[in-house]
Structure 1
Amino acid sequence: MIVLESLEAVRNLCERYVSAGLSVGFVPTMGALHAGHVSLFRQSRCECEKTVVSIFVNPTQFGPGEDFASYPRPREADTELCRGAGVDLLFFASAGEVYPEGFQTWVTVGEVSKPLCGKSRPVHFRGVATVVTQLLSIVTPHRAYFGEKDYQQCLVVQRLAQDLHLGCSIRICPTLREPDGLAMSSRNQYLDPRSRRSAPRIRQALLAARDLVLAGETQVERILDRLRSVLEPGEDLRIDYAEVRDASTLEDFGDGVIRRGGAGIVIAVAVIAGRARLIDNIVVQP
C-alpha cells in the first residue's frame, strides 16, 4: 500500500493509474475507520483494479460547537486497517492544502441539501459538497463509494457528480450494523454505557415505522407516532428530527399522505444520545 500526504502526488499517481487503463475506485473518509468503511473498500476492490482511500477531517462541514476538535484521529490504526483491507493508495489531506490562504470557492447543492441534516447543520453540506468535489477532481475515479447510513449525503454527492459532469459513478452501499442493529459509525465511540444500551432503539423504531407502512398506513403523522412510541425519547435519547420524505428528492409530503410508486419513501432520524448525534434511516417502497 502506498501512503501519500501531497495532493499533487495523489493526482500524479491516479493519472498514471488511469493512463495505464486501470479502473479506479475511491472511498473518501474522515478516518476513525470501522467495519462499515472496510465494506466500502471491499466493494471497490470487487469492482475496480485500484482502490484509493482518503482520510481528512474536513473542518468546513462542522458548525460552531460541533465535534471537530474532538473527532477521533487514530492515524496509525487507520493506516493498518487500510493495509489489511487491501487498499492500494491511502492519502492524508491537510486543511492547509485543501483550503489554502485565499480560498473562496464553494460548492452548494440545492434543494436536496436543505431538509433533515441540512436544516439542523446549516453549513454542513456546503462543506461536504466542496471537499468531495475537490477530491473527485484530484483522484478522477471511475467509481466512488458511500454508505447508505448517510442517506442525504449520498443524494447530495450523486447530484453534484451529475450536475458537474464529473464522470464518476456514485455507488451507494448498504449500512453495516452491530448485532443489536445500531448503525456502525465513528461517533459510536462517544456513547457512554447508558447511551449505548439505548441506541439500538433507533433501528427498532425505524423497523416499526416501516412495518406500519408495509401494512398499508399512508398518514405521515401516524407513521412518525409509531416511530416515536418505539424510540421512547427521553433523557437518554432526544430526537433532533424524525421525518418521512420522498426517497429520491427528499421532498416532504405537504398533504401529510405518502405517495406510492417511484423511488419510495425514506424514514430518517437524527437522535442525540449522550455526546453523540446519531443518524439512521430506512427506505420503504409502500
Structure 2
Amino acid sequence: MYTKNQSIRELVDKNRILIAAHRGTCGGNVVQNTCLAYKNALLHGADMIEVDASMTTDKVFYAFHNGEEPLELGIDRDIRTMSSEEVEKLFTLNSLRQVCGQKLEHLEDVLEHFRGKCLINIDRSWFYWKEIIALLDRMDMKDQILLKSGVEEELLKELEESGTGIMYMPIMKSPEEWDIIQKYDINVAAAELIFTDLDSEFLSPEFMGRLKKAGIAPWVNAITLNDEIILSGLLDDNNAIKIGFDETWGKLIDLGFEIIQTDWPALLKGYISNKSNEK
C-alpha cells in the first residue's frame, strides 16, 4: 500500500516486490490509459500505474500511447499531429471495438486524480522532454512520479540541467549504458532492464548488486506486447498463464527484480501474497 511521501526504495524495502500496471488494467468497456483503467489496476493490487504521454500541436498533454490511434480511436492519424480541439472531438473504442462515451483524458487531470494515491510511471514522453519535465515540476508530485526514457545523453543532460530532482528510470538494453547514466547528477530511482535471454549480464548477481547498492530498484517488463518482441527472456505474462507462475514471475523475483510491470496485476499480486504466506 502506497503512503504519501514514501520513496520507491522505502516501498520496496517494505513490500519487497512492487507491481506496475501496464496502461492501467483494461478490458470490456474499460479503456486503457484512462482514470477508470488506472483505478481498476489499483483495485487489482497494483502499487504503480504506467501512464503514457502524448502532446498535441498546441502543447496539450493527453494520457495516450501514440500509435494506438487505430485501435483506441478508430483513426489512422497520430494525435501528435493534431490540435487539442481535434482530439476533444474523438471518442474511444472499447475492447469489443464499440464506440463508448469515454474520451482521451488530459495528463494533468489524471495526475491530479491520483495525487497521494499511488506511484506513477510516465512513459513515451521523451519526444517532448523539456515540456514534460516542466509539467511534472509544476504538478509538484515528485514523491509519486517516476519518469523514464532510453539512455540518450541529450535527455540525461536536459534532465540534469532542469534541477527538478524528479525520480528517473533509464530504459537499459546493455550494461554499458550504466556507465553513461552515472556521469549525470540525476535522481535515478529504478532501472528498466531489457533482455532477450537468460544469459544477459543484467541478470548476474554482480550487476544486480551494483544497482541495489546504489539504492536503485531493478524493473522488469513481464508484459507480453506481442509474439515477436521479447522484453524479459520469455519470463513473461503469457508464459506465466500458460506454463506457471513459479517458472516465470517466480524466476524474475529470484533473479532480484524488485518492480515487475504486468498486464495482470491481480494474478501477480495473488502469487506474491501466496509465496509470502508459504514462508
**TM-score, normalised relative to structure 2:** 0.26
More helix by share: 1
Which structure: larger Rg?
Answer: 1
